[in-house]
Structure 1
């Protein structure tokens, strides 16, 4: 099992090939530097983009979600461990590693099947802001998982003070598909399956989901890794040593579509119904995707024409999507979950389409492809078409604000595009 930091001068050269002139070149270099843990080219400028910031957000930008936060007071109870060496524990064929850097690439390789890359991705935060985030990743040393698309278990524990209204998001800890699957032309995609079970915990108590957390307080690295290792070895030793890689059948998908007839007033009611508001933190749980007619631009979140997000949950009052003031555009049911669509344009002139689950979905197993291919029948004016390429696909949580330490725990995850 190889879990570590990967930096290749050759890849930097490939990413930095001029696309659309000097701006595209610099954006490519900056993107690569950020996701590989290096200092960004335009660190702190407020205008640059990064690896899957969500809703058109980027490193230092964070304006895409339209949050109106800033009304909370600081919890003041979090001490970020800082950019210390990664804490790693190996036991029984399982490796548990903790990453507290602002940006760092964690590459997960498998003997067969899907490869993944994880990143704490604290793009809208600096140490002087207070708070922080640590990511725990549990991987198998034999590089073999339950299926050929199974991802490692991981979690992110964080606490941030409220950001400004134009930059409410501090981080997007995430796992993205890697290993040559992307970019892919949308017309060639037959399935875009997401099989996930997750939970959000506040002070160790599940707010949504019932999964036990894979890590403890990130202020104590040794305690966190010990707890995660104990859980991982007892729950996954058998899977780690079997060497079996099989394909999981895809669940049936209900892709019924209905165009919403409500406007902004009705949309406000919908928001109140779907958002988990009785919590002391603001965040979402989301799949983030980027599309463009150019295969290279589709993988650059600063340059891609379209961003499509699928939110499985929305916590707190300040997690509104782009286009919230225009109301619900449409609704669609996938895997028994009713999603509502919001659309708009961010400050980079990217078209952002956000599907949000009416109620939190801590367990989901189905193809989200209909949420993309069905856009043509919903009266949307700007959306990815069959001739566009998808260049980025990630799953994680946008972290806005929390009074206390909260943990986003991903117990089960498989992402499969074919």
Structure 2
């Protein structure tokens, strides 16, 4: 896989004369990519079985993306900085996004691409999301801004919801991280450590007393995270070094860390003792524990859960790595 930061150069370029026109068009496309817009070069179909999705595809992302279709299954790649992809589904609705919010003009590295596997017949198991993976490589950013993005999948339709009207948040999860451009069967922690991988894998939620604000990552009063791995201390949560209470779910012990971010939001992070690639169980007790504390530093049970996403926070790594969400099923029950 060859990919660059925020810019896909399509094979259709071979039909354009080399010279000033190409340079001008590439400059425009680079600017569009840098601002999170779709590339100008969307291409067409060729005869090798690979189409670029012109006119839309089963990912719901429209045209302009490399798509392979085989036996009713589509594999589509997105390398934009920010691009919402909502695969059509006859059951639950999810939106995926490369979400490279920390990439700047002076960012160096190979970049990031999101690969989504969808079903042409749009029929998924109940509450089950499309399979997806993230291949990326960034060099370390400045200490003041080390994060390059949080590519993720977000639950649609069912939120916001008052927390006292939620009874369970059932999660069935399997993910891996591996070296290279393809998904790994399991995570080799030592190999990734040797390549200086700095990342975490987490569910990210936003809560607020106001239903509209609870849907906003910038306006919500509280951010609650459930982590499943922290590769090293560079990717640590706010409040690291000052552990709070612990809670064991599905055989995994989580420790609570708390702090305030630069926006003044209260960030409450549950972090496991060890890497947790598989998890099956109800994570709602991690939320009820918080509102049982009481006080303004913690959400109240009358507050709204407005947003819930799952993904990986990407910092830096020496070589290409791939995060794979092989199974992600979440059921928010009333």
Normalising by structure 1, we get a TM-score of 0.61
- What is residue 407 of structure 1 aligned with on the other side? 322
Q: Quick one: which of 344, 353, 356 aligns to 2:259?
A: 344
Alpha carbons of structure 1 residues 341 and 277: separation in structure 2 relative to 1, 3 Å: farther
What CA distance in whole angstroms lies between the structure 2 residues aligned with 1:157 and 1:406?
6
What CA distance in whole angstroms lies between the structure 2 residues aligned with 1:285 and 1:399?
9
Alpha carbons of structure 1 residues 134 and 144: separation in structure 2 relative to 1, 3 Å: same
- What is residue 112 of structure 2 aligned with on the other side? 133
- After superposition, the C-alpha distances for 1:39-84 in whole angstroms (9 at most, x for unaligned) are 9xxxxxxxxxxxxxxxxxxxxxxxxxxxxxxxxxxxxxxxxxxxx9
What CA distance in whole angstroms lies between the structure 1 residues aligned with 2:275 and 2:120?
34
What CA distance in whole angstroms lies between the structure 2 residues aligned with 1:135 and 1:210?
19
- What is residue 88 of structure 1 aligned with on the other side? 67
- Secondary structure at 1:396 match in 2: strand
CA contact (8 A) 1:160 1:403 kept: yes
- What is residue 246 of structure 2 aligned with on the other side? 331
Aligned counterparts, 1:1-400, within 5 A:
37-38=36-37, 85-111=64-90, 113-126=91-104, 128-131=106-109, 132-145=111-124, 147-178=125-156, 180-203=157-180, 210=186, 277=193, 279-325=195-241, 327-377=242-292, 382-400=297-315
Higher helix share: 1
CA contact (8 A) 2:182 2:322 kept: no
Higher strand share: 2
- What is residue 65 of structure 1 aligned with on the other side? none
CA contact (8 A) 1:37 1:105 kept: no
Alpha carbons of structure 1 residues 382 and 169: separation in structure 2 relative to 1, 3 Å: same
Deviation at 1:109, TM superposition (A): 2.4
CA contact (8 A) 1:335 1:364 kept: yes
Deviation at 1:280, TM superposition (A): 2.0
Query: RMSD over aligned Cα, in angstroms?
Result: 2.4
Deviation at 1:91, TM superposition (A): 1.5
- After superposition, the C-alpha distances for 1:99-152 in whole angstroms (9 at most, x for unaligned) are 0111111102211x210000000000135412210010000011101x211111
CA contact (8 A) 1:122 1:170 kept: yes
What CA distance in whole angstroms lies between the structure 1 residues aligned with 2:181 and 2:119?
25
What CA distance in whole angstroms lies between the structure 2 residues aligned with 1:316 and 1:94?
36
- Secondary structure at 2:69 match in 1: strand
What CA distance in whole angstroms lies between the structure 2 residues aligned with 1:195 and 1:348?
32
Stretches of structure 1 lacking an aligned partner (at least 5 in a row): 1-33, 40-83, 212-275
What CA distance in whole angstroms lies between the structure 2 residues aligned with 1:331 and 1:278?
30
Deviation at 1:206, TM superposition (A): 7.8
Stretches of structure 2 lacking an aligned partner (at least 5 in a row): 1-32, 39-62
- What is residue 61 of structure 1 aligned with on the other side? none
Aligned length: 272
- Secondary structure at 1:324 match in 2: coil
Normalising by structure 2, we get a TM-score of 0.76
